[in-house]
Every structure is written in C-alpha cells, then in structure tokens.
Structure 1
Amino acid sequence: MSSRRASVALAFAAALGSTAAVGLTGCTAESAPPAETQEVSPQQTEAVEFAPATGTEVATDEYTFRLPDGWGFPDGAPDGFDPTTFAADLQDDDDYPDNVNILVSPGGEVTSDQVEQSGIDELEDAGATDVQTLDRVTAAGSESAHLTATVSTGEVPYVIDQYYLVDAGQTYIVTFSSSVDVPQEDRDALAMSVLATWQWV
C-alpha cells in the first residue's frame, strides 16, 4: 500500500475506532485493506448559516482554532489525544457526547480526489453505513472533501463528518462525531463554525 493510500485508509479506519463514550481510539493503516476506487459525485447540500465559534481557543505550533461555547477537553478522553487534538460538548447530556478530533495524516498530503474516490469503500469495509460524499468546502485556505457516515460498532451509534485540511504538504483530518438524531444541517453549521476559525501558524 502506498504512503498516500495508507494515509487515506488510516483516516477512515481511525474515524471508526470511536468509543461509545467520547470518541476515537487508534487504528493502524494495515487494518483497512486496499479497495478498488470509483468515481463518486458529491451529493449537493444546501448552504448553511453559521457564525464563527467563540469558545475556548485551541493552539498548537501548527494551527489554532476555536471551539463552540461549552466545549472542552473531557475527563476520560481517548488515549493518545490531548486538549489540542480532542474536544467534546461538555454540556451534552444524551447517550453520545458530540466531539471533534484531529489526526495528522502519516502520508503527508491527501487530495480531495483521493478521499472521494476511496472513501466510501474504505468506510463501508470498516463497518460504516449510510456513507456519503457531500459537497466540498473551503476551510483553512484550501478545498476539503466532506464525508459523512453512520457508525454502529459500539453500544451507541453515532454519525461522523470528516474534513481534510492541508498546509505545507500535510493533511490534518478533522472528524466531528455527533448523535444520530442531529440533522445534517446542524452538523454542518457546527463544523463550519469551528473550521471558519482555523488558522495556520
């Protein structure tokens, strides 16, 4: 498997490693076998209204962004994540706390075409359902693919929305995980409110 192919597989596999409590656990690239690529036309979605997030600022040597109000680093966050790579809605009182995590692609830059061509097969092979490629978005100065899927591998099913931000030849995979009853429009608005504040250092 090529490094770029492996990085795509890792991103998809990692998105499905989420625990029912708060989010992702690790997964290796080898856990997702190669799949035949196919041409996929992104599903058109209506533009959503949103305001940039105004909550806690997250800052690293590579990027900064703001969380929605009421979000932060939770107790019991998955191993391998810290306050710069994982946050959850600390006021969420349903069975699945909505959250966001950031992973660095191990293969460097992954293009939107690569994501859209292999994403559906990779996610379905890993057990996801209702996998869709949605309209690309512009975030952090670059165009990003947008995949969504339902994950039912744990005790509580949830929905993921995954974006791919690129800077200096490196892709950062940003995954928002939400309760299954949150409408796509609301998920898009929340994700875009965060991505609108993303800046490279």
Structure 2
Amino acid sequence: MDLFSRTWTALRAAVAGLSDEDFGRPSGCTGWLVRDLVCHLVVDAQDVLITLATPTDREPTRDALTYWDVSDTPPTGDDPLDALTVRLAAAYEDPGLLKFHLDDVGSAAGRAALLADPAGRVGTRDEVLTVGEYLSAYVMEWTLHHLDLIAHVPGARQPPAEGLSRSRAMLERLAGGPFPSSFSDTDALLIGTGRRVPTGAEQTELGDLASGVPLYLG
C-alpha cells in the first residue's frame, strides 16, 4: 500500500509539472495525447474510489497478477471507451481544469487507499480481490502510465525506482520468465508491454522469452 501511494503521488506530481503545451504532445498510449491520458487517470482515480467503497464478503477470485487481462493483440485506439476518453479530454479545453480535476479526485483516491484495510475484500469488474492485492495491481498501472505520460515530454519526472522494479517483477511473472539483466527496468517494461520495439540485439537477448512478449494488459 505504501508503494501504491508513492507511485500514485509521483504520477500526479508529474502531471502537475506539465506545461500547457505538454498536454498536446503524444503519449505512450496508442491514439492518445497527453491530455487524453490525464483524463484517463481521472477515470482511474474514480475507479479506485468506487472499488474501495464496494466491500464484499465473497472469497477473492483474483490477485494482483490475475487482475490483469493479458492479450497478444495490440491496442488500436479505436475502442469506444478510448474514443470517449478523447472526447472528454477535449471538453476540458483548459489544461488547468484537467490538472485540477485529477488533483481533486486523485488526492481523494490516495487518502482512501491509506485508510483502507489491506485484508478487506472489494469487488471490481465482477471480480473480488483483497484491498492489498487490488492496490498492488495499481502499482503497475501507475508506473506504466507514468512512462506513457513522459514518453515525449523532455525532462519530465521519472517514475519511482521502487515502482519500476516491482512492476518489472510482476511483468516477468506474467511473461513466465525474467527479462535479460542487461535490460533496465524501464526498457523491460516498455518492451515487455509493446510500448517500444526491441532492437535486433535486444530481441536476441530475449531468447525464449521473445515468443511470449509483448503482453498487452487490460
């Protein structure tokens, strides 16, 4: 839960540090500008609040790893929800309003996470997780989207090293093996999730793992 807070706080700080011009830059998410990604983070924060306010007595059906639906099909940006996010982001017009909304809802989500019982059970997407496992899953969500946010923003704040390391470990478990030790945590995450195409040398280093990545998480 501490790592959830650190990665979420760092991501919100990175958004707060963006200039108005940065909101018009492309992000690391297919088909989305930075402003679209920030709008998505507002929705993510709302989802966290909703989930933490949805307790259940049912037995857990997923954990921090199985929370993710893994696909080998890359996103196209044509999904109706993706398109809705683009329209919502455009409606803000002033990037300052989008920053304010994320800070407002995001701060509330952060406080709710700190107050939640890690052993409690919550429902989301018709599944049940403990609070601790749910928030652990979001460490990877925040870390990957932090990388998406700064993909084309020179000098932007980087994700916390602990979040990168934990997310890499989670992705390696999903992939069924470790990435080469020569890969930085950032490169492992970008290549492993299809956000960057590996060089020829990197492809060779991947060895048997090459047939199992990239993984597209949803």
The TM-score with structure 1 as length reference comes to: 0.25
Kindly name which structure, 1 or 2, has the bigger radius of gyration based on alpha carbons.
2
Give the strand-richer structure, 1 or 2: 1
The TM-score with structure 2 as length reference comes to: 0.24
